Structure 1
């Protein structure tokens, strides 16, 4: 929401400085996002006198001007057709920044003539699109006067953020009301003088809505104007609209925009001569369409409220008017619309059509119902003042739905709910200044809520209003009690596991991402597809319309964006939900990770390699281990989902239950998501890991005992079938003697000369750790025999000769 300081002072009588106003706005919940001081930006541009303008000797379309500035006489080469001797223009010296052309002026030589500085146009100053010539100031204008002062641009523009519940502050008067209540001045009275109609309106308002949907447009009013002249609006009005980023169009259109921002009352005006018959508020018929004021054509469904005449649709209720009945410079007869629309239906219509207009933004947050009454008078006053003509009697349809709410506030509730003691008289004063109708009672007070405050619904809302205006900075800072230890069981097992996994993956060099839990249907199709029940009815964006069936798509998209921006080496992880269905158990907590690019940075001493499935497997096993998964007992199967590369991926299983997946991502997925491969990923299903068994009450975990005896390593090479998983052999070897064998590692895989076709050699190192005494050769040989026997039984492998 933007407005200028002088515009605010139209409603607020105050001596407060700009800094004081900005500070107060933020403290009462209207956060200041930016203050634009246009006078500071235009400070170098000042009035100057053109002493002489003569033809450039070497260019037909250039003139050499001698310009008298406040700092003396300078020569400027100018190409404007209106540059002439004796005129008063606007001069920018060398070194000035010209916002309209985004350049810094430098002394130059143009076709053999020196040029120092510039005589500027409005477009070069960035204040309008006018560029037919340089700015001409009235004769007699003193030299050296800042142009911002001459043009009325020395008016700071304030931009504030409006929360969805404060639709009343989408008008300058609403902001002024809050500031007055906060003690920064006095709210000026606002009169709505009644305009007497001179004739009966030839166009009437009608409503044709189903009996059970009358609230879609409960009331509409307006009047007919004839003999108007729709020329340019006055300079003061154009300046205010330009200041907030709106382009002046014509007096009639500018009036509607001005009232929208000034009083939070959207209006619409029809060229009455283009309207056929009466104008009706009704539901659209399936397939009807309209060419809107933004130049686009929109098709309606039968749930949208439209404004129509005998020609068909002329406007979209609460959203935008139609082009065919829009006002132009030739308009001499006008029909005014001041309506009330259902906020929810306006929002739905706007979303369906993809239109975000100033009108929709305000209607969907709720308007003051009384504005449908006084809005007619405000618009009438401005139209008659700026465009002339005469007005008809007011015409309307429907019933005005002004129903006020009455709330009670008990004494002491501000302190108990807000933690701050505010004198009761001050509470009453604040609510009255916010234009609540307050009556004091024995228990506290009764307050009738203003019609424009549809967000105030209960006693707590009154407390919030009082505290907000009193100032959030006045709420005392109370430190948390840190003298006691947090009780056991504060964190759930799931919360602990999240923390453990987060730390483990961070230590492995991965960076955490936080992404949306919804993705596009196209991305979902690459990762198993999305069921119909996971499709969002009201997505925040058309490309975020389904709940993600896997946590990997958003990580792949993040890596692709990083790669596009020159960061191809990615190591990312996320801990969050993914969705199988819409049942209570359909959401699963997953730790997902992705690596792409090079495993490590390039270095002359290190030999480069590509990422492979074992990088992802290591990450996944680290995550599983820290959350208590029985890593040693997990089986690895080669049945990872279709988004993994077949033969280069796997699944962790504990019996029939899947603990997670790992491996290279399928090239089809990488190509579809524009990520250069290879890329490896993993998914660990945190909730699938069994919970640890409850410990017996009072049982103490035994102390760790380390052996004082030297471990013994023995190497074995087994010949097994080529399709035998190494993991199966390692598991068999380790299970040969669970007391003595503490570790088994694979250190070589070989096939070729000396190995029978269809076979391979797997070489393993077995570590024996005695705890009672040093082992004899016979004891070691006995364990070795067990290893050979166990491997043979499990895999059919034989010792390599």
Structure 2
């Protein structure tokens, strides 16, 4: 929010210096971003007169000008089309810095003719966009006067960052009100002159909205002006708009832009001669088109609030008007619009169509609903003063807002919530200066003013008191000394998250942090998208639904990396997913993704695409990190529908408790998200992992036997359709006292193996307890292994 110092003083009577004003703004929460004074960078430039302008002998578009600044004459070669004898100009001399060109002037020869200095355009001095010609000053401009003094440019421009809840400070008057309440001056009374008008308008307004969308536009006021004379605005108005970065257009348009920034009340003006009938606030139908004032064509998606005449939409309500009904210098009859538009629908429309305007910025945060009529009257006076003409009676649709928001306030809460012991009378005085009405005795009833839509409860009232009194005035209270060593503050859930993060990082994956929201269409692909999980006020239309899985976010992040040349991507995230809106519907999940190739290119190993076994390995590593009994898990080939049906599975503890899902992502899902394959992923549901039986998070020292371990290999023949997992489980359970580890090192089908069977080679590590194994003992264990394998899966030793 930009404003000049002189503009602020239109409403704030104060002797405070610029430095004091800036300090106070920061102190009351209106953070100052920058302070710029045009006078500082334009101080060297002076008013000068062109004495003569002759054609350059070697260039048709150049002129050789004799220019006087009152004390000396100099020769300047100029290419501006309006350079001629007799005009007053802005002169820069050698050594002067030209901000719009980012150059320092020096003597030069242009086509063989010496040029000393420069006559400047508005763009070159960063005073506007006009660069087609040099600045022409009025005939009475005194030659030799510093240009900043003549143009009264010594007017610092302050730019403050407005937080989303302070929409009341999106106008200069609101900022002045806050400063006055903070003791930096006196707020001047806003003058509103009521004008009843002299005739009945032939143009009317109406609101035509379905019951479920009544809030889209609740009030619509209009006024007809006739016989106005449009054209360039007076210098004071142009200067103010230029100071805050706006381009002056014409009197009618400049008035609406000025009031938007002056009072925070967006308005719009239509050329009445270009309207086709009355104006109506309604919802757009999908496919309706109009060309906006930014000269771009917009196609409605359906449901946007539009202001339309009989020929169709003439603008998005509260955002931007249409080009076809815009005002020009020839406009003589206009219709002025003031309306109330729904903040949420305004924000959605702006985001959907990529429109960022000053009107949208204010409406989506909430404007003062009771100021609509005063805003109309102030605009009426400005238009009549600047453009003349006659004005009609106000015509309207909808109804006035019944604003009556009250909040209970106990003065003691200033101390209990804010740490400031302040007399109740001082708290009341601050609130009244801010426009709140305080009734009764402590506890008070506080009537919230209509421009403070952000104030909802007692903590908000306390915040206002603290903010204006000064947060720096809150006494510092040291924390009590504590000589005791702090214990762990992590919950078991947090400890699990930390453990699994460390493990996944250790296996070469990179942690990502993504949004907890996603597009509803994407959520539907992963079993979500319920209306009960839609976000009421999403930060983007692409983030309107709570995520049912982290995989789509990681898939898109991975694809962005692959688009930038990454051959292989491995990402993980530990965070919540949202299956429903019940207490048990939010789960903590460790999700990982690998895409592209597995591992880096290396001379000693071949690079292969990622596959389902990579995902299974990662899932087991994550489960082991949080103490899951991985040796007792069963693999089922049933996985969520977004996995490939033949290349995925689940890890379960018992038949029902699914601890993890893993596998290759379904080709249809990859196509829908525009992600290149192959992509594999896993999801470990940390909340479903049972707590370890051993208490305590610390691991004991590793117990290593002093006796020599023994490893034996077995090659079993078994039916092709039997799961190898069942064989491994049977072998491991053959003698739990001495079998330390079991694994597969070969799988073979083909010559020498009967049809319908496969050969599985496993290694078994035997760990002695009290004495070294004898051959007899090893043979006994081997017999147990063979017997267990045959009994469990029908496996026999291969001959």
TM-score range, shorter chain: 0.7 to 0.9
Query: Post-superposition shift, 1:181?
Result: 1.4
Q: Distance in 2 between matches of 1:46 and 1:724?
A: 95
Is the CA contact (8 Å cut-off) linking 1:290 and 1:322 kept in structure 2? no
Which residue of 2 is the match for residue 742 of structure 1? Answer: 740
**Distance 1:137-1:589 versus aligned 2 partners, 3 A rule:** same
Q: Distance in 2 between matches of 1:39 and 1:506?
A: 56
Q: Distance in 2 between matches of 1:736 and 1:283?
A: 77
**Distance 1:681-1:297 versus aligned 2 partners, 3 A rule:** closer
CA RMSD in angstroms comes to 4.7
Q: Distance in 2 between matches of 1:239 and 1:531?
A: 53
Query: Post-superposition shift, 1:329?
Result: 1.9
Matched, 1:254 2:258: no
The number of equivalent residue pairs is 793
Q: Distance in 1 between matches of 2:232 and 2:318?
A: 26
**Distance 1:606-1:485 versus aligned 2 partners, 3 A rule:** farther
**Distance 1:142-1:720 versus aligned 2 partners, 3 A rule:** farther
Query: Post-superposition shift, 1:254?
Result: 1.0
Segment drifting more, 414-423 vs 214-223: 214-223
Q: Distance in 2 between matches of 1:525 and 1:511?
A: 27
Is the CA contact (8 Å cut-off) linking 1:563 and 1:675 kept in structure 2? no
Deviations 1:365-422 (A, max 9, x none): 4444442343233123211221123445556677654655555533423112222112
Matched, 1:375 2:375: yes
Is the CA contact (8 Å cut-off) linking 1:718 and 1:797 kept in structure 2? yes
TM-score normalised by the chain length of structure 2: 0.83
Query: Post-superposition shift, 1:679?
Result: 4.0
**Distance 1:150-1:501 versus aligned 2 partners, 3 A rule:** farther
Q: Distance in 2 between matches of 1:527 and 1:406?
A: 45
Segment drifting more, 137-146 vs 771-780: 137-146
**Distance 1:531-1:122 versus aligned 2 partners, 3 A rule:** same
Query: Post-superposition shift, 1:652?
Result: 1.8
Which residue of 2 is the match for residue 2 of structure 1? Answer: 2
Is the CA contact (8 Å cut-off) linking 1:94 and 1:116 kept in structure 2? no
**Distance 1:736-1:142 versus aligned 2 partners, 3 A rule:** farther
Which residue of 2 is the match for residue 784 of structure 1? Answer: 782
Which residue of 1 is the match for residue 708 of structure 2? Answer: 710
Is the CA contact (8 Å cut-off) linking 2:250 and 2:329 kept in structure 1? yes
Which residue of 2 is the match for residue 654 of structure 1? Answer: 653
Q: Distance in 2 between matches of 1:450 and 1:20?
A: 28
Query: 1:468-507 residue pairs with structure 2 within 5 A?
Result: 468-478=467-477, 483=482, 492-507=491-506
Query: 1:418-457 residue pairs with structure 2 within 5 A?
Result: 418-438=418-438, 443=442, 447-457=446-456
Q: Distance in 2 between matches of 1:701 and 1:64?
A: 89
Q: Distance in 1 between matches of 2:773 and 2:561?
A: 56
Q: Distance in 2 between matches of 1:610 and 1:206?
A: 65
Segment drifting more, 742-751 vs 47-56: 47-56
Which residue of 2 is the match for residue 558 of structure 1? Answer: 557
Is the CA contact (8 Å cut-off) linking 1:284 and 1:300 kept in structure 2? no
**Distance 1:50-1:721 versus aligned 2 partners, 3 A rule:** farther
Which residue of 1 is the match for residue 329 of structure 2? Answer: 329
Query: Post-superposition shift, 1:551?
Result: 1.5
Q: Distance in 1 between matches of 2:251 and 2:312?
A: 27
**Distance 1:438-1:549 versus aligned 2 partners, 3 A rule:** closer
Deviations 1:237-271 (A, max 9, x none): 22322333433221011111111210122233343
Query: 1:241-640 residue pairs with structure 2 within 5 A?
Result: 241-274=241-274, 291=290, 293-294=292-293, 296=297, 318=318, 320-321=320-321, 323-340=323-340, 357-392=357-392, 400-401=400-401, 403-405=403-405, 407=407, 409-438=409-438, 443=442, 447-478=446-477, 483=482, 492-520=491-519, 523-524=522-523, 527=526, 530=529, 540-566=539-565, 569-580=568-579, 585-596=584-595, 611-640=610-639
Q: Distance in 2 between matches of 1:96 and 1:75?
A: 19
Deviations 1:303-362 (A, max 9, x none): 887767777876765555555544332222334344455666766777788866544543
Is the CA contact (8 Å cut-off) linking 2:591 and 2:683 kept in structure 1? yes
Deviations 1:684-715 (A, max 9, x none): 122332344697xx9x9999865332322233
Q: Distance in 1 between matches of 2:285 and 2:235?
A: 44
Deviations 1:708-739 (A, max 9, x none): 32322233344555666554443332222100
**Distance 1:419-1:43 versus aligned 2 partners, 3 A rule:** same
Q: Distance in 1 between matches of 2:789 and 2:6?
A: 89
Query: 1:10-159 residue pairs with structure 2 within 5 A?
Result: 10-38=10-38, 55-56=55-56, 58-63=58-63, 78-83=78-83, 88-91=89-92, 99=100, 120-137=120-137, 151=151, 154-159=154-159
Is the CA contact (8 Å cut-off) linking 2:298 and 2:353 kept in structure 1? no
Q: Distance in 1 between matches of 2:704 and 2:447?
A: 77
Indicate which of 767, 770, 793 corresponds to 1:769. Answer: 767
**Distance 1:628-1:45 versus aligned 2 partners, 3 A rule:** farther
**Distance 1:678-1:345 versus aligned 2 partners, 3 A rule:** closer
**Distance 1:416-1:392 versus aligned 2 partners, 3 A rule:** same
Deviations 1:97-117 (A, max 9, x none): 7646x8899998876778898
What SS does structure 2 have at the residue aligned with 1:122?
coil
Query: Post-superposition shift, 1:10?
Result: 1.9
Which residue of 2 is the match for residue 681 of structure 1? Answer: 681
What SS does structure 2 have at the residue aligned with 1:201?
coil
Query: Post-superposition shift, 1:741?
Result: 0.8
Is the CA contact (8 Å cut-off) linking 2:209 and 2:283 kept in structure 1? no
Which residue of 2 is the match for residue 235 of structure 1? Answer: 235
Query: Post-superposition shift, 1:624?
Result: 0.7
Is the CA contact (8 Å cut-off) linking 1:47 and 1:91 kept in structure 2? no
**Distance 1:425-1:489 versus aligned 2 partners, 3 A rule:** same
Query: Post-superposition shift, 1:200?
Result: 3.0
Segment drifting more, 283-292 vs 419-428: 283-292
Deviations 1:742-765 (A, max 9, x none): 112333445667666766554433
Is the CA contact (8 Å cut-off) linking 2:286 and 2:300 kept in structure 1? yes
What SS does structure 1 have at the residue aligned with 2:454?
coil
TM-score normalised by the chain length of structure 1: 0.82
What SS does structure 1 have at the residue aligned with 2:162?
coil
What SS does structure 2 have at the residue aligned with 1:331?
coil
What SS does structure 2 have at the residue aligned with 1:746?
strand
Q: Distance in 1 between matches of 2:774 and 2:611?
A: 42
Is the CA contact (8 Å cut-off) linking 2:92 and 2:105 kept in structure 1? no
Q: Distance in 2 between matches of 1:480 and 1:510?
A: 41
Query: Post-superposition shift, 1:518?
Result: 3.2
Gaps of 5+ in 1: none
Deviations 1:121-149 (A, max 9, x none): 33455543323223345679789977666
Q: Distance in 2 between matches of 1:67 and 1:305?
A: 57
Q: Distance in 1 between matches of 2:693 and 2:19?
A: 63
Deviations 1:567-590 (A, max 9, x none): 555332112233445666544432
Q: Distance in 1 between matches of 2:524 and 2:72?
A: 72
Gaps of 5+ in 2: none
Q: Distance in 2 between matches of 1:791 and 1:70?
A: 110
Query: Post-superposition shift, 1:231?
Result: 0.7
What SS does structure 1 have at the residue aligned with 2:464?
helix
Q: Distance in 1 between matches of 2:575 and 2:549?
A: 10
What SS does structure 1 have at the residue aligned with 2:61?
coil
Q: Distance in 1 between matches of 2:71 and 2:499?
A: 70
What SS does structure 1 have at the residue aligned with 2:773?
coil
Deviations 1:604-629 (A, max 9, x none): 78876654444433322221112221
